[in-house]
């Protein structure tokens, strides 16, 4: 009798386990985007950048000037040598006079020293004050080094290529084209001394235009700012100015992307699905595959068209999940589409709604799930998971 009861209990446990649908999941990394402060019109897909600079010197001109200066220096080398020889002769003549003066000074000091008493001489000797002949160092002739050509340091010169500066501006989420124009006008740097310190200003204007319409306008570095605690006549002004131009361009790029760009943010999403050994969940497995593929296309440099296409696919998958959700039998644990599958679908719907920042859709999904809260019979882990998702919805 006991053996019969044990076998019956075993059958019940195994039978119940066979109908319990374990949730599988797959995580995928993708790049979400930060919503810009000022969304551009949907028709804007491309941008062009034009940079105007007050600097006309080119690297070729600097190299040519440097070579010309070197040729002058090389041609003048013989004169430099002659001047150095004359200077040496003067220093040598001066040395002979200095030597005679030193010897005369020593003779006088020794004469005075010898006129002292023995005890006085011993005392001065112990104190290290006995007269000594201090011979000046004899000048040594050093031949001037022959001129050697050295390439100029471009960092010390205001050499810019406005096309290179324009290429450095990247409006994230858009491609190069002519839908809008980003016009940047850089002025010369103005230096101002105050109390031994140097201040500067370098007004730089930015305009984002669509045709003749100005969409965004801002001026950078128009007010005087502290530069260094040294006066302007002791620093390399061109180096400071060059570094400041590059700093302004970085600030403009950051501002543009905060205003209009789609800054990528590394993200991860988890898609749940039931085990499909008997091919009973083909629709859900295909939906999972398509969702993973849609997110994988959202790379860091994905274009706006790619993101729109992926979002459209995810919305289509949302309809598939909702359709499958309508097939759920919440009362029958043995049903193919039971409440365990419903939990997976609800989790997918909420996660995708949140990733799309579709607050209205997420709230609809949450309301639909709340209506089935009792039927879902959520366990401790499920409650914690859905609570976290619910909190994310409220933050959208």
Q: What is the CATH number of the domain that holds 229?
A: 3.30.160
Tell me what pLDDT residue 21 has: 63
41 in any annotated domain: no
51 in any annotated domain: yes
- My answer on whether 242 and 293 are in the same domain is no
321 in any annotated domain: yes
No. of helices (H) and no. of strands (E), the chain:
12, 10
For residue 240, what is the enclosing H or E element? helix 237-259
- My answer on whether 211 and 253 are in the same domain is yes
- My answer on whether 22 and 66 are in the same domain is no
For residue 24, what is the enclosing H or E element? strand 23-34
Tell me what pLDDT residue 53 has: 95
- My answer on whether 50 and 172 are in the same domain is yes
**What are the residues whose beta carbons fall under 8 Å from the beta carbon of 331, sequence distance 6 or more?**
375
- The Cα 131–Cα 134 span in angstroms is 9
Tell me what pLDDT residue 108 has: 87
Q: Which two tokens stand for residue 282?
A: 């083909």
Q: Which of 259, 288, 319 is the last residue of a domain?
A: 259
- The Cα 396–Cα 387 span in angstroms is 15
- The domain of 50 spans 46-57+158-259
Name the nearest CA neighbour of 314 among 269, 281, 378.
Answer: 269
Query: Could you give the C-alpha distances from 313 to 92, 271, 301, 352, in angstroms and in order?
Result: 92, 15, 19, 11
- My answer on whether 141 and 168 are in the same domain is no
244 in any annotated domain: yes
Residue 374 burial by Cβ neighbours in a 10 Å radius (0-12, 13-18, 19+): exposed
- My answer on whether 340 and 351 are in the same domain is yes
- The Cα 102–Cα 105 span in angstroms is 5
Q: Which two tokens stand for residue 308?
A: 């729109």
- My answer on whether 89 and 30 are in the same domain is no
Tell me what pLDDT residue 173 has: 85
How many domains does the chain contain in total? 3
Q: Which of 259, 288, 321 is the last residue of a domain?
A: 259
6 in any annotated domain: no
pLDDT digits over 172-188, tens only? 989 899 999 999 999 99
Tell me what pLDDT residue 102 has: 84
- My answer on whether 199 and 172 are in the same domain is yes
- pTM for the model stands at 0.67
Tell me what pLDDT residue 11 has: 34
- My answer on whether 251 and 372 are in the same domain is no
Helix (H, G, I), strand (E, B) or coil at 143: coil
Series of mean pLDDT values for 10-residue runs along the chain (396 residues): 39 38 88 92 94 92 92 94 91 84 86 85 85 86 92 88 95 93 97 95 97 96 95 92 96 97 94 93 96 95 87 96 96 93 97 96 95 94 94 93
Q: Which of 200, 228, 259 is the last residue of a domain?
A: 259
């Amino acid at each position: 009798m006991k053996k019969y009861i044990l076998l019956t209990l075993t059958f019940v446990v195994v039978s119940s386990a066979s109908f319990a649908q374990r949730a599988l999941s797959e995580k995928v990394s993708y790049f979400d985007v930060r919503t810009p402060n000022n969304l551009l019109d949907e028709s804007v897909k491309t941008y062009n950048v034009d940079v105007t600079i007050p600097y006309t010197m080119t690297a070729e001109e600097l190299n040519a000037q440097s070579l010309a200066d070197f040729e002058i220096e090389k041609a003048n080398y013989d004169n430099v040598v002659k001047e150095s020889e004359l200077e040496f002769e003067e220093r040598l003549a001066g040395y002979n006079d200095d030597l005679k003066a030193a010897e005369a000074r020593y003779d006088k000091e020794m004469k005075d020293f010898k006129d002292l008493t023995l005890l006085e001489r011993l005392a001065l000797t112990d104190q290290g004050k006995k007269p000594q002949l201090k011979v000046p160092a004899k000048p040594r002739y050093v031949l001037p080094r022959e001129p050697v050509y050295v390439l100029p340091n471009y960092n010390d010169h205001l050499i810019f290529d406005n096309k290179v500066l324009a290429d450095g501006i990247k409006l994230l989420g858009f491609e190069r084209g002519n839908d809008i124009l980003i016009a940047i006008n850089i002025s010369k740097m103005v230096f101002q001394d105050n109390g031994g310190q140097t201040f500067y200003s370098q007004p730089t204007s930015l305009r984002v235009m669509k045709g003749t319409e100005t969409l965004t306008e801002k001026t950078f570095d128009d007010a005087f700012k502290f530069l260094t605690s040294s006066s302007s006549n002791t620093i390399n002004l061109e180096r400071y100015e060059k570094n400041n131009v590059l700093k302004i361009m970085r600030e403009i790029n950051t501002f543009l992307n905060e205003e209009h760009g789609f800054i990528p943010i590394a993200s991860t999403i988890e898609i749940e699905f039931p085990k499909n050994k008997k091919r009973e969940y083909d629709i859900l497995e295909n939906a999972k595959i398509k969702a993973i593929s849609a997110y994988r296309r959202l790379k860091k440099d994905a274009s706006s068209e790619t993101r729109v296409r992926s979002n459209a696919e995810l919305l289509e998958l949302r309809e598939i999940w909702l359709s499958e959700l309508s097939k759920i039998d919440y009362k029958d644990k043995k049903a193919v589409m039971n409440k365990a599958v419903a939990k997976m679908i609800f989790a997918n719907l909420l996660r995708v709604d949140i990733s799309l920042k579709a607050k209205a859709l997420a709230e609809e999904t949450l309301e639909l799930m709340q209506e089935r809260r009792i039927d879902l019979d959520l366990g401790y882990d499920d409650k914690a998971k859905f609570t976290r998702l619910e909190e994310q919805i409220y933050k959208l």
